[in-house]
Structure 1
């Protein structure tokens, strides 16, 4: 299948990753889940856990916001952001600990 393929550029390795969290920019009508909401590290399987958990939290947030766009919808946004940020921080600290102690 690739015997006639031609390499048009050198392979590139992305190794300078950094933890990101975009939950603070969450809107009532928008929910970010999985790696779209945060990315920690390609080595650990934290992304799988965060993706499933954020999907469940986002579904609860969206359902609540649809039922009550005013006070309850705004509160559900904050609950979603707080719970997801807390999980993110746990995995971020684990990654920081792992990499800071690596090779020592």
Structure 2
């Protein structure tokens, strides 16, 4: 089982990758939105903001997200780490229900460029 600190590092790695991306990926990462990532197996939520092409984790709270963010992710900690390391394909995991992504329609169209 992955730890909260390993998941935080995975989100930092994802953020670093987004910050150095080019083209459509860079444009999609340039959104300014509230974001949460609920790790269902650890029952903890990272609360943050997608801004300036990066994910800024502002807090880690126990349980499900306390507020409704504009972009909401839910998955297990091992799936987060596998996703960031490239071992798990987002589209396949999303389609099978392993990863849940909720956002407005316009945001979903932008976010698909990241995937």
TM range (shorter): under 0.3
Q: Computing the radius of gyration over CA atoms, which structure comes out larger, 1 or 2?
A: 1
Q: With the length of structure 1 as denominator, give the TM-score of the two structures.
A: 0.27
Q: Which has the higher strand share?
A: 2
Q: With the length of structure 2 as denominator, give the TM-score of the two structures.
A: 0.26
Q: Which has the higher helix share?
A: 1
